[in-house]
Copies of this chain bind each other. A is one copy, B any other.
Amino acid sequence: MSSSSVNLKAVPGRLTSSYSEVQASRLDVSLPLPSVLKSSFSVVDGPKSSAAGNPEEIAKLFPNLFGQPSAVLNPGGSSVLSKDISLKIGVVLSGGQAPGGHNVISGIFDYLQQRTSGSTVYGFKGGPAGIMKGKYVELSAEFVYPYRNQGGFDMIASGRDKIETPEQFKQAEETAKTLDLDGLVVIGGDDSNTNACLLAEYFRGKNIKTRVIGCPKTIDGDLKSKEVPVSFGFDTACKLYSEMIGNVMTDARSTGKYYHFVRLMGRAASHITLECALETHPNITIIGEEVAAKKQTLKSVTDYITDIICKRSELGFNYGVILIPEGLIDFIPEVQQLIAELNEILAHDVVDEAGVWKKKLKSQSHELFEFLPPTIQEQLLLERDPHGNVQVAKIETEKMLLQMVETELDKRKQEGKYKRDFLGKTHFFGYEGRCGLPTNFDANYCYALGFGAGALLHSGKTGLISSVGNLAAPVEQWTVGGTALTSLMDVERRHGKFKPVIKKAMVELEGAPFKKFASFRDEWALKNRYVNPGPIQFLGPAANAINNTLLLELGAQA
């Protein structure tokens, strides 16, 4: 009956000495595996692959890997992998946290324990820097155990360094040779998987035996393709944010007097905001990709919000919930322009009290600057990074929009077009979503990704990203394989050179999730269709639900 914590005497690895009852209850859950992974399988190659764009350039950048087929695991078959082999495998976490990372590592570990003999797994510490500096820990069953089904990346920690320069590739090579690595699994987002592929190419080109396999990680959900239906962590993060949004909605409806402006994590793409909208049905949702496509301005976004508030007021609703993606500002061209001009001006000029400096702004930017609330003007002028640039990330978009809406409502009030008092509250849901206990979906998905990565390395594959599919079906029916990383790539021109990139998957305005949202948003705006998803459950009927975005995208593909 007590919520006091559980002592895990046999937990040498984790820094904490005690677990909550829920944490402890998750440790010993036995995870279901796709049936293909439960008995013997063979790894079968598909057809020759190409690239997502500019295949000639990708071919030049990856002479050894370009065109290689994706692979799929089939049950039984002729080329069943030998258990009589001992592998040395490294694993690294790269970039921001996402729930489920520990399960990917557990999956790799368990695969090697079960399907090979006397293999070793090294966890590189603190991200790719751990590879370059040769900082690692050898994983044991006891070391891995306390992290099973737990959130966070603290088993080996993560980092944002990249292996980029020739010296850095050389360092990675040294480590691979010193540890006699047969393989390396890179768990990361778009950049990290691009990096993984470059490393695979480098090793292959130098005839080094170390193979490299990627795994798709990011709560932002912007690393996905036909073969990689979703990045892990997205499901848990969206459900956590949706729980909070649902609670705020119930509060708004109960109190009847607040508009809640909720900013959600997800800088580059608005997938999280869209998924949370599909889960909770807010009155207003701003999707960055749509703002960009329609070339909307801050003024038009403000007007859109204000219009709905006025209409709701006429219906007797003086409350509501508004979802805003963290990266909104980056989607508005006029804001980008203003910031570019400010960076230029502030680098050379003094900002005089009288405002003479403003004359250097182009007229559109000047107008926009004057339109911004004073506190935001101040942030733009004062909060600069060591290079003197405006720190866009520090701008609290939800507060900015709230203030602009307040100003517009005041104006309409004076014009007699709005008659009520307006009260706004702001929220940012971000860091609390990156390290939650993974949902059953993320726990199972990550375990399969890791198990599959082990199988790919076992069969000698390199330059693939672990791919688990058929996710709308029960876990037993999930497919397992690897997708050629080069097939996901395009090039970007940077500093006069072609750079390979896995393009971020943005919200598709023609995709099923956005279309569903678009077909409902007018109804959600004026009627109150709030849904409260409640806390993530690990048992019971609601425990195995998967997110709307993934379901809709799978449905659209089918």
List the interface of chain A (C-beta within 8 A of B): 1-5, 15-23, 25-26, 97, 126, 150-154, 157-158, 239-240, 243-244, 246-248, 250-251, 253-256, 258, 260, 279, 281, 425, 427-428, 431-437, 472, 474, 528-542, 544-548, 551
Contacts and interface: CB of A to CB of B under 8 A. Distances in A.
Contacts of A531: 5, 16, 18-20, 23
A251 B152 contact: yes
Given A22-B533, A437-B534, A532-B20, A248 B542 contact: no
A542 B22 contact: yes
A321 to B, nearest CB: 11
The 4 closest A-B pairs by CB, nearest first: A22-B534, A3-B545, A152-B250, A21-B542
Contacts of A537: 22, 535, 537-539
Contacts of A150: 250, 532
Given A22-B534, A247-B435, 4 more contacts: A25-B541, A153-B254, A243-B535, A535-B537
21 contacts: A1-B545, A1-B546, A5-B531, A16-B529, A16-B531, A18-B281, A20-B279, A20-B542, A21-B542, A23-B532, A25-B541, A126-B256, A150-B250, A150-B532, A151-B247, A152-B251, A157-B256, A250-B436, A251-B434, A427-B432, A537-B539
A310 B221 CA distance: 37
> Which of A17, A154, A433, A474: most chain B CB closer than 10 A?
A154
Nearest to A523: B17
B3 A279 contact: yes
Nearest to A19: B531
A471 to B, nearest CB: 9
A548 B3 CA distance: 7
A152 B253 contact: yes
B20 A247 contact: no
B532 A151 contact: yes
A531 B22 CA distance: 10
A247 B432 contact: yes
Contact of A248 (B16, B26, B260, B431): B431
A158 B256 CA distance: 9
A535 B436 CA distance: 8
Contact of A435 (B26, B250, B533, B539): B250
A240 B247 contact: yes
> Which of A23, A250, A474: most chain B CB closer than 10 A?
A250
Nearest to A258: B431
Contacts of A260: 431
Contacts of A472: 1
Contact of A247 (B436, B532, B545, B548): B436
A384 to B, nearest CB: 16
A374 to B, nearest CB: 10
Nearest to A374: B382
A266 to B, nearest CB: 16
B97 A254 contact: yes
A127 B525 CA distance: 27
A21 B537 CA distance: 10
A207 B1 CA distance: 46
A537 B437 CA distance: 12
A40 to B, nearest CB: 28
Contacts of A250: 97, 150-152, 154, 435-436
A545 B19 CA distance: 14
A22 B15 CA distance: 34
Given A97-B254, A244-B432, A546-B3, A437 B20 contact: no
